[in-house]
Chains A and B, each alone.
Chain A
Amino acid sequence: MRDAFIARLTEVARRDPKVMLITGDLGFGVLTKFADEFPKQFLNAGVAEQNMTLLATGLAMGGRTVFTYSIANFPILRPLEMIRNDACYHGANVKVVGIGGGFSYGSLGISHHATEDLAILRSLPDITVVAPCDLYETQEATSALVSTPGTAYLRLDKSVAKPLADTVEPFVLGRARRWREGTDLTFVTCGGIMQCVLAACENLATDGIQCRILSMHTVKPIDREAILAAARETGGIVTVEEHTLDGGLGSAVAEVCMDAGVIPERFHRIGLRSGFSSIVGSQEYLRKVYGLDAAAIVGEARRILATGRNAVVSVDATG
C-alpha cells in the first residue's frame, strides 16, 4: 500500500505544486524518487513528529495540502495534540499518513503495533479517517483526500487484499464498497485484514453460507446507509478489524445500529481484546494468535450463525 500511495501522490504532485510530503525521517528508498522529483514539495522534518505536524499545519495555512508520513504510531500518538488543536481545529489540509497499520510490523514489538489508531483518531472532531484494504482503494483514497478539505488520517497496511474480479464499485470517500453479495451475514471490515475476510467467506460459501462483504475504508465519516441496509437485509453483522475492539470499527458500526434503533439479528465484533501483544511475529502469525485469521473468522461466523436471534455471544479474552 505504501508504494501505491507514493505512486499516486507522485501523480497528484505533478499536477498540483501545492501538494507536499513531509516525512519524520522514515521511508528509506521509498521516498527517494519523490524527493528527487519534487524538491520543493518534499521535506524531511527529522525525527521530530511534533514539529512535523506543526510545520504541516503552518504550511497548510499558507494554502498547501500537506501529507505527513511515518510508521503508523509515530505521526499520530506523540503529536496527537498537534493534530487535534492545530490541524483539526483550524480545518487545515493536513493528511497524516501512517504506514504499517495493525500488526504490519509485528516483529518489531508493541511500539510498532498500530492497534489503537483508528479509535483514537476517530474520536477527534473534524477529521476523516481512512483505512483502505487494497491498492485501488489506497490510490483512490490518496486522490480523494487531496480534494477533500480538512484534516485526515490515512492508515496504510503492509498486507493487501486481492481484489475480486467482480468488484467494480468505484471508490467514494465515506461510502462503503460492497465486495461480495450474500444474505446470511455481512462482514464489515477495513484495512488489509480484508484478505482474511475474503478467504473466510470463500470457505463459508462451500457450505452454502453466502456473506455480504463491505469494505468500510472510510471509518469516519462512516457509511450509515450501508450498515443499516446490512442490518436489515442480512442475517447479522460481523465486524473484523486488526485493531483493538475499544472504540474501533466494530464500535462505530454498533453505534450506527443502536442510534438508528436497528438491531441486527446477530452482531459480533472480531478484533483485539484487552492487553498489548508482548509476543512478536509476522503479521500472519499474530493474526492467527489473536483470532483474526480466516480460520478464526470462519469459526466465529459458524458459531454466531448457530445461535439464535439476538443471542448474547460470549467472547474469550485473547490479550
Chain B
Amino acid sequence: MAERTFQSTEELALRIRRHAVEMTHLGNSSHVGACLSMADIVAVLYGSVLQFDPSRPQSPDRDRFVLSKGHAGAGIYAALAECGFMPVEKLKTHYQDGSDLSGHVSHKGIPGVELSTGSLGHGLGVGCGMAYGAKLDGETWRTYVLLSDGECDEGSNWESILFAGHHRLDNLTAVVDYNKIQSLAPVRETLELEPFADKWRDFGWAVVESDGHDHDALKAAFSAGPDGRPKVVVAHTTKGKGVSFMEGQVLWHYRSPQGDEYEAALRALGARP
C-alpha cells in the first residue's frame, strides 16, 4: 500500500491541483476547473477532518466521504492517492483505455471511494442513508457529502435536505463547493440559488459559511457543532482556483489544458512542466 505523501493540508491541496491539471491534460478530459475549485475543501477533509485508515479502507468505524459532484473524479482520485489508498503512479491511467479511473468517480477497483457518482443529485441521499443507519446503530462516525452548486438544481437534493433536517441528522455534514459557475454560465444566470444559506436554514440545517480556500476557516467550519441539526458548510470558492487564467472562467468547466496552457498551468502551481 502506498503511503501518505504530504506534511500539511496546504501541501495536499497543491498536489491535488497539480495532479488534476496533469490528469486532465493526459486524458484530454473535462472538469479541471471543478477539481481546482474543490481542492482546498478536499485537502482539509482528507488532511485533517476525516477519520480513515488507507490500509483498511472498509473499516467499519471510518468516516464516510461521498463526492456527489462526481465529475471532479480526478481531484478525488488525486487525494486518495496522496493519502495512500493507491499508488500515485496509477493516476496517470485516468481516462485512458481500460482504466478503472473513470472521468466520473467510480468505486470499482478504487479503495476509498464509498459511492460511484457522475449523475448529480445522488450523493446527499445516500449520505442521509448512511447517517441515518449510523444513528440507528449508535455509531459515532460521521458522513460528509461534497456537492457542487450547479448540482443543487437537482430536485432530489431537496428531498434529501428535507429528510436530513426533519430527522435531525447531526452526524451528517454537507459541503457545497459554491464557485458560482456551472456548465454553461454563472449560477445566477442559470438557476439562482440565493438566498442559499437561508434555504438550508429553512430546511432545518445549521449553516456555516466559509472561504472555501482558507484552510483555517474550513477547519473551523468543520469542527463547529454538532448542534442537533445536520450541518452544511457553504464554501465560497473560485472555479479554476490556483491557475489565474482559469479562475472564474466558464470555459474551464469542459476545456482540457493542452500545449502552452498546460505548461502555464503547471508553472502557476509551482511545478515544472
Name A residues whose Cβ lies closer than 8 Å to a Cβ of B: 40, 43, 45-46, 48, 50-51, 53-64, 81-82, 85-86, 89-90
Query: How many A-B residue pairs lie within 8 Å, measured between CB atoms?
Result: 84
A47 (CB) vs chain B CBs: closest residue: B159
Complex-state Cα separation, A86 to B115, whole angstroms:
8
Question: Across the interface, do A85 and B133 meet the contact criterion of CB distance under 8 Å?
Answer: no
Question: Across the interface, do A51 and B160 meet the contact criterion of CB distance under 8 Å?
Answer: yes
Complex-state Cα separation, A250 to B104, whole angstroms:
37
Can you list 21 A-B contacts with CB-CB less than 8 angstroms, sorted by A residue number? A48-B159, A50-B156, A51-B128, A54-B126, A54-B129, A54-B160, A55-B163, A57-B126, A57-B129, A58-B128, A58-B133, A60-B129, A61-B114, A63-B133, A64-B133, A82-B156, A85-B117, A85-B119, A86-B115, A86-B126, A90-B116
Question: Across the interface, do A46 and B137 meet the contact criterion of CB distance under 8 Å?
Answer: no
Question: Across the interface, do A55 and B132 meet the contact criterion of CB distance under 8 Å?
Answer: yes
B161 (CB) vs chain A CBs: closest residue: A51
Within the complex, the shortest CB–CB distance from A43 to chain B, in Å, comes to 8
Within the complex, the shortest CB–CB distance from B41 to chain A, in Å, comes to 21
Question: Across the interface, do B107 and A54 meet the contact criterion of CB distance under 8 Å?
Answer: no
Q: Which of B125, B128, B163 has the most CB of A within 10 A?
A: B125
B116 (CB) vs chain A CBs: closest residue: A89
Instruction: Please judge, given known A-B contacts A81-B119, A85-B118, A85-B119, whether A54 and B128 are in contact too, CB under 8 Å.
Output: yes
Complex-state Cα separation, A134 to B128, whole angstroms:
36
Complex-state Cα separation, A82 to B119, whole angstroms:
9
Contacts of B131 in A (CB 8 A): 58
Complex-state Cα separation, A56 to B132, whole angstroms:
10
Contacts of B121 in A (CB 8 A): 50
Q: Which of A58, A62, A63, A90 has the most CB of B within 10 A?
A: A58
A58 (CB) vs chain B CBs: closest residue: B129
Complex-state Cα separation, A51 to B130, whole angstroms:
12
Is B1 among interface residues, defined by CB-CB distance under 8 A?
Answer: no
A49 (CB) vs chain B CBs: closest residue: B159
Contacts of B26 in A (CB 8 A): none
Complex-state Cα separation, A242 to B260, whole angstroms:
62
Question: Across the interface, do A46 and B129 meet the contact criterion of CB distance under 8 Å?
Answer: no
User: 9 closest A-B pairs (Cβ-Cβ)?
Assistant: A58-B129, A54-B125, A51-B159, A62-B133, A48-B159, A55-B129, A50-B156, A58-B126, A58-B130
Question: Across the interface, do B134 and A86 meet the contact criterion of CB distance under 8 Å?
Answer: no
Within the complex, the shortest CB–CB distance from A24 to chain B, in Å, comes to 11
Question: Across the interface, do B159 and A59 meet the contact criterion of CB distance under 8 Å?
Answer: no
Within the complex, the shortest CB–CB distance from A76 to chain B, in Å, comes to 15
Complex-state Cα separation, A59 to B133, whole angstroms:
5
A51 (CB) vs chain B CBs: closest residue: B159
Name B residues whose Cβ lies closer than 8 Å to a Cβ of A: 107, 114-119, 121-122, 124-134, 136-137, 155-156, 159-160, 162-163
Question: Across the interface, do A56 and B122 meet the contact criterion of CB distance under 8 Å?
Answer: no
Complex-state Cα separation, A56 to B125, whole angstroms:
9
Contacts of B155 in A (CB 8 A): 50
Complex-state Cα separation, A89 to B117, whole angstroms:
10
New contact pairs (10) apart from A55-B128, A58-B130, CB-CB < 8 Å: A50-B155, A51-B160, A51-B163, A54-B156, A57-B125, A62-B137, A81-B119, A82-B122, A85-B116, A86-B115
Contacts of A58 in B (CB 8 A): 125-133
A62 (CB) vs chain B CBs: closest residue: B133
Complex-state Cα separation, A46 to B118, whole angstroms:
25
Q: Which of B122, B129, B130, B133 has the most CB of A within 10 A?
A: B129
Complex-state Cα separation, A50 to B162, whole angstroms:
12
Instruction: Please judge, given known A-B contacts A50-B159, A55-B163, whether A61 and B126 are in contact too, CB under 8 Å.
Output: yes
Within the complex, the shortest CB–CB distance from A151 to chain B, in Å, comes to 14
Question: Across the interface, do A86 and B159 meet the contact criterion of CB distance under 8 Å?
Answer: no
Contacts of A90 in B (CB 8 A): 107, 115-116
Within the complex, the shortest CB–CB distance from B30 to chain A, in Å, comes to 19
Within the complex, the shortest CB–CB distance from B60 to chain A, in Å, comes to 9
Contacts of B133 in A (CB 8 A): 58-59, 61-64
Instruction: Please judge, given known A-B contacts A48-B163, A51-B160, whether A62 and B130 are in contact too, CB under 8 Å.
Output: yes
Question: Across the interface, do A86 and B130 meet the contact criterion of CB distance under 8 Å?
Answer: no
Complex-state Cα separation, A90 to B110, whole angstroms:
13
Question: Across the interface, do B122 and A54 meet the contact criterion of CB distance under 8 Å?
Answer: yes
Complex-state Cα separation, A60 to B128, whole angstroms:
12
Q: Which of B117, B127, B156, B162 has the most CB of A within 10 A?
A: B156
Within the complex, the shortest CB–CB distance from A191 to chain B, in Å, comes to 30
Contacts of B128 in A (CB 8 A): 51, 54-55, 58
B163 (CB) vs chain A CBs: closest residue: A51
Complex-state Cα separation, A55 to B130, whole angstroms:
7
